[in-house]
């Protein structure tokens, strides 16, 4: 009992001392706190953001489809297909409602001839009851009523009013019919998601047919939609089974949701790793602060040991202190994450789903707190172990702390455990052992490379013996003072500069790639769905107007039905996931020659000689996806006819220099008489007004054709890229902030030494101005070196990503490099000087006396 | 009783070995007040540190109250200091992050003493600092800091008090005050007091004076008064 009471009292010593130490040291450990808070804040904010996004899109998957099951086809449903579908449905009683819809893209222009606007729209013909699932959000807050669409009425997306400069009540022309705008919606069922070429326009399905668009347009998609009272998975399986061999696609909202969720889960894990990177940088800050802390506490530790406290108890006290600060810092990080999410709402709400919520969820917050505490412990364990090496005898004669850093077995064990712990955290965050391990190895490799570069640069700097100025010489010496933090600062700040500059450099190159004034072969206007009978007249009309003979290409719609005699088994998930790429309808063409932007990788391009079998050329990536090589056969479904062709060669497409990009090109002969339309491309850079007028006139003459204004598409793409870059830069700025915190922590670590040096220099007659110049030169050099390292590696990464991953042209941008180095130097000088400024005003006597 | 037998301490200085203590043998009975004097670098402070187990000798043995200090590990040494030894340093060595009161409290909390707070209050009063307990070391004068250090040294009622030039950093008035305080406590609590000092006048007031030179004991004498008391 006495033993128990005594143990309890001894524990009280640990708790009491921890409490008192926190009370007195919290200011010194503020950076520790901030490092953890920033890291946890990043992890929690990024994870919450993507989770909220997933939830808002996930719940919308059903509304997005407006039904539970969708059967769709690019051709009319044949009687045999209808009977197969009805056969399956007659076996179930779960179908509650049904409707049909037709969608296509079409050109819309105001009926008022004085209004020259014209736009590509995404037209949807519907019939009641619509929608089976989900709701419209109308601009005037009234509900959607199908009556609005009767007698050639249209309900349009709000943006179209601006695009076409029309208002409710005005008439617009689509195809051969005119529609009156009767309603405007803010949000269609399921909301708008992803990239859309044109604004959505709803009309009645019957009016859609009479507008003549279905006669000619090859991109019409017909759907039959069902709402079920039960999980539709089994029904979908049965429908797929019965429709095997047809071109009807069967989808359930659950699969869409599943695919979206999977995609988001991957994104979430990658973003979490980015958060973890920031947290690990925070960990480096923690490591630094913990080292400084132990250094400053040497005497107190010796006193405690002299008074009878064992090393273990003292380590326990400091561990508890770290744990408490880690915990509070993590909680603060969660609050910061919430603030960050509000910031996202303020800045990006327009680009994100309307239903999205912006709060941190409890589970993610708890994970963040756990991560923060774990990182605090992992990164402070090794420095705290140094407490063991502090001997009480230093109270009798001051010894330097050489043996504090000595590596012994315990430190090796703890070092290994810390690494294992870090790996466990990375694997946990990445949701995969391989990705987690890669992250850690990648981080170690990047750090090692940056560290080596820092070592090489500082080594070279030391060889600079010709430095004339005293301040400059002193500053270089400062970079080498015992216990200097030069390399760690270069590593941390360099890493921050690296992330931000790499993203900026990539953006510059990406934006340049989509700057169509540079790509001479990128069309400015793209005409499709031109009938054979119209092509000559259209080409000559365009030539009259702008003086360019548009290049006309025949296109045939085809769908892959078999590969080497085998049909796709969409029951298999792996195949179904590729459905979008391999199961879709392709625009194919036929021509005798290889295009300028193409190269044959395998096999040979066809000669003039007659071929024994029909031949097709397959694009490289598609060949990989279909697992076909030269000599294999692919069967296509073209307007219901099955045509088998032999793969004659595999082609590479240079998308940077492309005018048209066809995945499948047939040898002339086989398709010459198949039902086909033509596409025409115009390369001339026509001014916007002239471009609109030309579109308007061509639509007037040929109502069935569609025109893609590439400038519009490019603008939309650029907006996407800019948002993406902004988002990554936002994350990158957190990396920079972590770097700055590490910088401040490192400055604190060497501060006492700097104070002592300054006191001695002052005693020897150095003026405050000289000391300030030394400070400025030291941080200036550090900043320049960090900027140089970060920028150089950023340029290297941006080159590698552009060249090998994005496969786009890469141009060296010296301005970005210079600005990167300059900005990094300015930040380091500012932070460094501000954090050390007070040293200049210290009286030397007090400092020297206290030593 | 403190028994030092053939104590040698050699430290490495650059490439050379430096002998700090050379075959020192001393026996200090319980309750004796011993002054340890000698020139700077003669090994006084090292000897004091060895007795407290703050450092280990290169050879020889140290027995404190029957326990062989040289055979103990770090934790056992800490425990020994906690129970039996109080230490006063020339530069006080108070923990700057704790108040005067908390500095006195610490040794008792380490040992797990029951009525630590009450005892700390009494000790503060003993050193005339009853109303300064809430002050941090930086807010106290040198003399006050040393008084706190003495109160801390007596916190666990040690049987041995080791003082390393406790008046060295103080002016003469404060120095005298501290010396008186220590000798009074020594007499009142019957502790063994080993005082390292340069001050001949202070040393002369001890019961016994040991003089060191180059790590060797060159003189070990009882004061006249002590000799008389002991009937020598």
A664-705, pLDDT tens digit by residue? 999 988 888 888 888 888 887 778 778 778 888 888 888 788
Phi/psi zone of residue A551: left (φ > 0), alpha (ψ -120 to 50 degrees), beta?
beta
- Both structure tokens of A86: 């009805």
Q: Are A159 and A120 in contact (CB under 8 A)?
A: no
More confident residue, A511 or B142: B142
Alpha carbon A833 to its chain centroid, in Å, reads: 36
Question: Is the peptide bond preceding residue B222 cis, with omega within 30 degrees of 0?
Answer: no
B54–chain A Cβ distance below 8 A for any pair = yes
Taking contacts as CB-CB distances below 8 angstroms, the residues of chain A near B78 are 305, 308-310
Those of residues 71-110 in A touching chain B at CB distance below 8 A are: none
- Which of B54, B105, B109 is facing A306, going by the closest CB pair? B54
Q: Are A748 and A292 in contact (CB under 8 A)?
A: yes
- Both structure tokens of A361: 């969820």
CB B79 to CB A305 under 8 A?
A: no
CB A306 to CB B52 under 8 A?
A: yes
Per-residue pLDDT at A845: 66
Q: Are B179 and B206 in contact (CB under 8 A)?
A: no
Confidence of residue B29 (pLDDT cuts 50, 70, 90): very high
Per DSSP, the three-state class of A131 is coil
- Both structure tokens of A757: 């040096």
B72–chain A Cβ distance below 8 A for any pair = no
Alpha carbon distance, N-terminus to C-terminus of chain B: 20
- Residues B107 and B150: their CA atoms lie apart, in Å, by 12
Taking contacts as CB-CB distances below 8 angstroms, the residues of chain A near B105 are 16
DSSP A802: I
CB A300 to CB B95 under 8 A?
A: yes
Average pLDDT per block of 10 residues along chain A, 851 residues long:
68 83 75 83 85 70 80 84 88 86 87 84 88 82 86 89 89 89 83 64 87 70 87 84 79 75 70 75 79 81 87 87 89 92 82 78 90 90 86 72 65 86 84 80 81 80 69 77 73 78 76 61 80 89 86 87 80 63 82 86 84 88 88 87 90 73 88 85 80 82 82 71 68 73 72 77 77 87 87 85 75 87 90 83 66 52
- Residues A496 and A480: their CA atoms lie apart, in Å, by 23
CA-based torsion, A210, A215, A216, A218: positive or negative: positive
Residue entry with tokens 């702008």: A546
Question: Cα torsion for A348, A354, A359, A365, to the nearest 10°?
Answer: -80
- Which of B45, B82, B114 is facing A307, going by the closest CB pair? B82
User: In b/e form, how buried is each residue of A245-275, taking b as 16+ CB within 10 angstroms?
Assistant: ebbbbbbbbbbbbbbbbeebeeebbbbbbbb
Q: Are A561 and A642 in contact (CB under 8 A)?
A: yes
- Residues A62 and A78: their CA atoms lie apart, in Å, by 27
CA-based torsion, A111, A115, A118, A122: positive or negative: negative
Could you give the angle at which helices A814-836 and A486-513 cross, rounded to 10 degrees? 150
- Which of A25, A299, A396 is facing B54, going by the closest CB pair? A396
- A40, A55, A361, A662, B223 from A334: Cα distances, Å: 7, 20, 10, 50, 71
Q: Give the per-residue SS3 of A199-216.
A: EEEEEEHHHHHHCCHHHH
Could you give the angle at which helices A768-800 and A814-836 cross, rounded to 10 degrees? 140
- Residues A14 and A26: their CA atoms lie apart, in Å, by 17
CB B55 to CB A396 under 8 A?
A: yes
Alpha carbon B201 to its chain centroid, in Å, reads: 18
- A368, A493, A602, A725, A749 from A499: Cα distances, Å: 23, 10, 39, 12, 26
pLDDT at B170 over 60: yes
pLDDT tens digits for B93-116?
A: 888 878 899 899 888 888 888 888
Supply the Cα-derived Rg of chain B in whole angstroms.
18
Taking contacts as CB-CB distances below 8 angstroms, the residues of chain A near B102 are 20
User: In b/e form, how buried is each residue of A211-227, taking b as 16+ CB within 10 angstroms?
Assistant: bebbebbbbbebbbbbb
E strand or H helix that includes residue A9: helix A2-25
Candidates A554, A522, A583, A531; CA nearest to A665 is A554
Question: Is the peptide bond preceding residue A129 cis, with omega within 30 degrees of 0?
Answer: yes
- Residues B175 and B180: their CA atoms lie apart, in Å, by 9
pLDDT at B157 over 50: yes
CB A20 to CB B97 under 8 A?
A: yes
- Which of B79, B98, B105 is facing A308, going by the closest CB pair? B79
Instruction: Point out which residues pair with B2 in neighbouring strands.
Output: B28, B64
Q: Are B215 and B41 in contact (CB under 8 A)?
A: no
Interacting residues of B2 by C-beta distance below 8 A, sequence separation 6+: B26, B27, B28, B51, B62, B63, B64, B160, B192, B194
Per-residue pLDDT at A516: 54
Q: Are B45 and B89 in contact (CB under 8 A)?
A: no
- Residues A632 and A628: their CA atoms lie apart, in Å, by 6
Those of residues 19-58 in A touching chain B at CB distance below 8 A are: 20-21, 23-25
Taking contacts as CB-CB distances below 8 angstroms, the residues of chain B near A1 are none
- Both structure tokens of A265: 């889960």
Residue entry with tokens 């009975």: B29
- Residues A838 and A415: their CA atoms lie apart, in Å, by 36
Per-residue pLDDT at A401: 47
Those of residues 512-531 in A touching chain B at CB distance below 8 A are: none
**pTM of this structure:** 0.67
- Both structure tokens of A493: 């700040």
Mean pLDDT of B120-134: 91
- Residues A616 and A146: their CA atoms lie apart, in Å, by 47
- Residues A328 and A26: their CA atoms lie apart, in Å, by 11
B52–chain A Cβ distance below 8 A for any pair = yes
- Long-range contacts: A337-340, Cβ < 8 Å, 24+? A337/A40, A337/A41, A337/A42, A337/A43, A337/A44, A337/A45, A337/A48, A337/A365, A337/A368, A340/A41, A340/A45
Interacting residues of A491 by C-beta distance below 8 A, sequence separation 6+: A284, A447, A450, A451, A454
- Residue of B98, B103, B152 to mutate when probing chain A, most A C-beta within 10 A: B98
Per-residue pLDDT at A25: 73
Question: Is the peptide bond preceding residue A131 cis, with omega within 30 degrees of 0?
Answer: yes
A16–chain B Cβ distance below 8 A for any pair = yes
A359–chain B Cβ distance below 8 A for any pair = no
A421–chain B Cβ distance below 8 A for any pair = no
Per-residue pLDDT at A616: 93
- Residues A316 and A321: their CA atoms lie apart, in Å, by 8
Among chain B residues, CA nearest to A301: B95
- Residues A288 and A291: their CA atoms lie apart, in Å, by 5
Confidence of residue B5 (pLDDT cuts 50, 70, 90): very high
A392–chain B Cβ distance below 8 A for any pair = yes
Q: What is the arrangement of strands in the sheet containing B67-68, beginning at the earlier edge strand?
A: B16-28, B2-13, B59-64, B67-68
DSSP A437: H
Alpha carbon distance, N-terminus to C-terminus of chain A: 47
Residue entry with tokens 């301490």: B9
Q: Nearest C-alpha of chain A: how many angstroms from B2?
A: 18
Q: Count of CB contacts below 8 A, A vs B? A: 96
Q: Nearest C-alpha of chain A: how many angstroms from B228?
A: 35
- Residue of B110, B113, B123 to mutate when probing chain A, most A C-beta within 10 A: B110
CA atoms within a 13 Å half-sphere pointing along the CA-CB vector of B32: 23
- Residues A363 and A369: their CA atoms lie apart, in Å, by 10
- Which of B54, B83, B102 is facing A392, going by the closest CB pair? B54
């Amino acid at each position: 009992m006495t033993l128990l009471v005594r143990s309890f009292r001894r524990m009280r010593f640990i708790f009491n001392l921890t409490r008192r130490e926190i009370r007195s040291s919290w200011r010194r450990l503020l950076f520790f706190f901030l490092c953890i808070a920033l890291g946890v804040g990043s992890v929690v904010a990024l994870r919450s953001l993507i989770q909220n996004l997933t939830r808002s899109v996930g719940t919308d998957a059903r509304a997005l489809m407006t039904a539970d099951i969708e059967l769709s086809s690019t051709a009319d449903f044949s009687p045999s297909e209808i009977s197969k579908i009805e056969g399956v449905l007659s076996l179930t009683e779960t179908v509650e409602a049904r409707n049909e819809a037709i969608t296509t893209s079409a050109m819309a222009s105001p009926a008022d001839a004085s209004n020259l606007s014209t736009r590509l729209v995404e037209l949807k013909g519907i019939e009641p009851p619509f929608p089976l699932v989900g709701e419209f959000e109308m601009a005037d807050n009234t509900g959607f009523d199908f009556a609005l669409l009767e007698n050639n009425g249209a309900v349009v997306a709000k943006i179209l009013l601006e695009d076409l400069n029309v208002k409710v009540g005005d008439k617009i022309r689509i195809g051969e019919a005119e529609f009156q705008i009767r309603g405007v919606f803010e949000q269609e069922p399921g909301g708008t998601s992803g990239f859309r070429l044109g604004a959505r326009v709803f009309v009645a399905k019957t009016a859609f047919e009479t507008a003549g668009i279905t006669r000619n347009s090859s991109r019409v998609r017909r759907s039959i939609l069902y709402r079920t009272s039960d999980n539709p998975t089994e029904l979908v399986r049965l429908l797929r089974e019965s429709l095997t061999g047809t071109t009807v696609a069967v989808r359930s909202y659950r699969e869409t949701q599943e695919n979206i969720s999977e995609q988001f889960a991957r994104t979430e894990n990658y973003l979490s790793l980015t958060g973890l990177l920031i947290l690990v940088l925070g960990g480096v800050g923690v490591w630094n602060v913990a080292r400084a802390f132990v250094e400053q506490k040497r005497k107190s530790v010796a006193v405690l040991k002299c008074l009878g406290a064992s090393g273990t108890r003292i380590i326990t006290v400091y561990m508890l202190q770290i744990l408490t600060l880690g915990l509070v810092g993590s909680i603060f990080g969660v609050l910061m994450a919430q603030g960050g999410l509000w910031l996202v709402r303020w800045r990006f709400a327009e680009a994100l789903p309307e239903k999205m919520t912006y709060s941190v969820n409890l589970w993610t917050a708890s994970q963040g707190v756990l991560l923060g505490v774990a990182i605090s412990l992992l990164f402070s364990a090794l420095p705290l172990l140094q407490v063991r090496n502090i001997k009480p005898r230093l109270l009798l004669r001051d010894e330097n702390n050489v043996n504090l850093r000595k590596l012994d077995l315990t430190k090796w064990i703890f070092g290994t455990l810390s690494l294992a712990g870090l790996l466990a955290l990375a694997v946990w965050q990445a949701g995969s052992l391989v990705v987690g391990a890669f992250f850690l190895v990648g981080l170690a490799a990047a750090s090692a490379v940056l560290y080596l570069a820092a070592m090489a640069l500082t080594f070279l700097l030391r060889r600079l013996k010709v430095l004339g100025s005293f301040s400059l010489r002193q500053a270089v010496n400062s970079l080498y003072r015992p216990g200097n933090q030069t390399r760690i600062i270069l590593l941390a700040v360099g890493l921050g500069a690296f992330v931000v500059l790499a993203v900026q450099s990539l953006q510059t190159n990406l934006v340049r790639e989509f700057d169509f004034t540079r790509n001479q072969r990128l069309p400015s206007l793209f005409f499709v769905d031109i009938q054979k009978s119209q092509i000559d007249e259209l080409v000559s009309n365009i030539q009259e107007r702008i003086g360019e003979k548009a290049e006309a290409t025949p296109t045939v719609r085809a769908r892959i039905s078999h590969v080497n005699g085998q049909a796709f088994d969409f029951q298999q998930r792996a195949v179904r996931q590729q459905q979008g790429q391999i199961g879709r309808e392709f625009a194919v063409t036929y021509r005798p020659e290889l295009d300028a932007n193409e190269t044959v990788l395998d096999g040979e391009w066809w000669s003039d000689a007659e071929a024994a079998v029909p031949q097709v050329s397959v694009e490289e990536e598609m060949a990989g996806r279909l697992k076909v090589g030269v000599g294999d056969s692919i069967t296509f479904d073209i307007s219901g006819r099955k045509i088998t062709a032999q793969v004659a060669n595999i082609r590479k497409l240079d998308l940077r220099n492309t005018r048209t990009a066809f995945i499948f090109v047939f040898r002339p002969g086989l398709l010459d008489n198949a039902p086909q339309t033509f596409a025409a491309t115009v390369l001339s850079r026509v001014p916007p007004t002239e471009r609109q007028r030309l579109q308007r006139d061509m639509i007037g003459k040929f109502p069935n054709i569609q025109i893609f204004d590439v400038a519009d598409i490019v603008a939309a793409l650029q907006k996407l890229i800019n948002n993406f870059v902004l988002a990554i830069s936002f994350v990158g700025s957190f990396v920079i902030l972590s770097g700055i915190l590490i910088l401040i922590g490192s400055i604190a670590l060497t501060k006492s030494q700097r104070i002592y040096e300054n006191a001695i220099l002052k005693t020897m007659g150095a003026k405050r101005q000289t000391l300030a110049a030394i400070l400025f030169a030291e941080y200036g050099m550090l900043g320049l070196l960090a900027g140089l390292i970060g920028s150089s590696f950023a340029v290297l990464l941006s080159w590698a990503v552009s060249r090998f991953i994005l496969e786009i042209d890469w141009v060296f941008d010296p301005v970005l490099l210079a600005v990167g180095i300059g900005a990094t130097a300015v930040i380091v000088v500012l932070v460094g000087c501000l954090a050390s400024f007070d040293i200049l005003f210290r009286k030397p006597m007090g400092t020297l006396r206290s030593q | 009783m403190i028994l030092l037998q053939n104590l040698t301490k050699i430290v490495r200085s650059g490439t050379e070995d430096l002998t700090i203590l050379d075959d020192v043998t001393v026996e200090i009975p319980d309750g004796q007040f011993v002054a340890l004097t000698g020139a700077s670098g003669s090994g006084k402070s090292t000897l004091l540190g060895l007795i407290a187990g703050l450092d280990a000798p290169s050879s020889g043995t140290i027995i404190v109250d029957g326990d062989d200090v040289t055979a103990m590990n770090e934790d056992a040494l800490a425990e020994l200091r906690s129970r039996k030894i109080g230490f006063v340093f020339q530069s006080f060595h108070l923990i700057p992050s704790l108040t005067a009161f908390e500095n006195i409290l610490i040794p008792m909390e380490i040992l797990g003493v029951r009525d630590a707070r009450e005892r700390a209050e009494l000790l503060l009063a003993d050193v005339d600092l009853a109303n300064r307990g809430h002050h941090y070391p930086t807010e106290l004068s040198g003399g006050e800091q040393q008084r706190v250090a003495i109160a801390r040294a007596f916190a666990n009622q040690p049987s041995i008090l080791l003082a390393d030039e406790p008046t060295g950093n103080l002016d003469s008035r404060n120095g005298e005050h501290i010396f008186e305080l220590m000798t009074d406590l020594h007499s009142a609590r019957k502790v063994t007091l080993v005082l390292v000092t340069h001050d001949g006048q202070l040393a002369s007031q001890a019961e016994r004076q040991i003089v060191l030179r180059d790590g060797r004991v060159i003189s070990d004498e009882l004061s006249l008064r002590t000799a008389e008391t002991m009937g020598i």
